[in-house]
């Protein structure tokens, strides 16, 4: 369940970032400028809602918070990224958005496996699964 939950958090972040306020979010993320965004997506036969919040710098770390809810489950993610980590994630998102724009294709989120093979999923996953950078708490309603 934890792996599925973590994967859904990552996928939701990607979908909402790429399709909602993509460039605005990515620019704010790269610079750690305070920014909030909400969105929802239908995925794997359920509606997943997300609230993203870039809080700004806390010392040399950028504080990022995301709340995700689906199927009566509420999850909160808090990450503290360094400047190089922000740049890595933002660069991957930028490149992925360009590929999508010029290829005319859309990301395949039809299954957990296909979503995990997405380059944006991979870079987010690397940090989401590192408890020294991100913490995830979950409460079932």
What are the sequence ranges of the domains in the chain? 2-140
Tokens 């010392």 correspond to: 59
Whole-Å CA distances, 141 to 49, 69, 75, 84: 15, 10, 11, 37
Q: How far apart are CA 15 and CA 100, in angstroms?
A: 12
> Which ranges of the chain does DSSP label H, i.e. alpha helix?
2-19, 22-31, 83-103, 112-116, 119-128
Does residue 19 have a pLDDT over 70?
Answer: no
Q: Are 52 and 117 in contact (CB under 8 A)?
A: no
pLDDT at 135 over 80: yes
Decide which of 65 and 141 is more confident. 65
13: confidence class by pLDDT, cuts 50, 70, 90: low
- DSSP conformation class of 38: E
Residue 4 binned pLDDT confidence (cut-offs 50, 70, 90) = low
pLDDT in tens, 36-51: 988 777 666 777 788 8
How far, in Å, CA of 87 to CA of 103, rounded? Answer: 24
Cβ within 8 Å of residue 83, ≥6 positions away: 32, 60, 62
Compute the radius of gyration of the chain from its Cα atoms: 14
Q: What is the pLDDT of residue 79?
A: 95
């Amino acid at each position: 369940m934890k792996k599925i939950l973590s994967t859904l958090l990552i996928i939701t972040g990607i979908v909402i970032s790429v399709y909602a306020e993509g460039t605005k979010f990515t620019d704010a993320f790269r610079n750690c400028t305070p920014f909030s965004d909400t969105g929802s997506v239908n995925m794997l036969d359920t509606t997943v809602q997300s609230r993203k919040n870039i809080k700004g710098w806390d010392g040399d770390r950028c504080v990022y918070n995301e709340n995700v809810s689906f199927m009566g489950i509420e999850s909160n993610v808090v990450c503290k990224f360094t400047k190089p980590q922000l740049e890595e994630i933002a660069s991957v998102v930028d490149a992925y958005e360009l590929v999508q724009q010029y290829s005319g294709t859309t990301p395949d989120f039809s299954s957990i496996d296909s979503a995990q093979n997405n380059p944006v999923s991979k870079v987010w996953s690397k940090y989401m699964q590192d408890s020294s950078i991100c913490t995830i708490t979950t409460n079932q309603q």
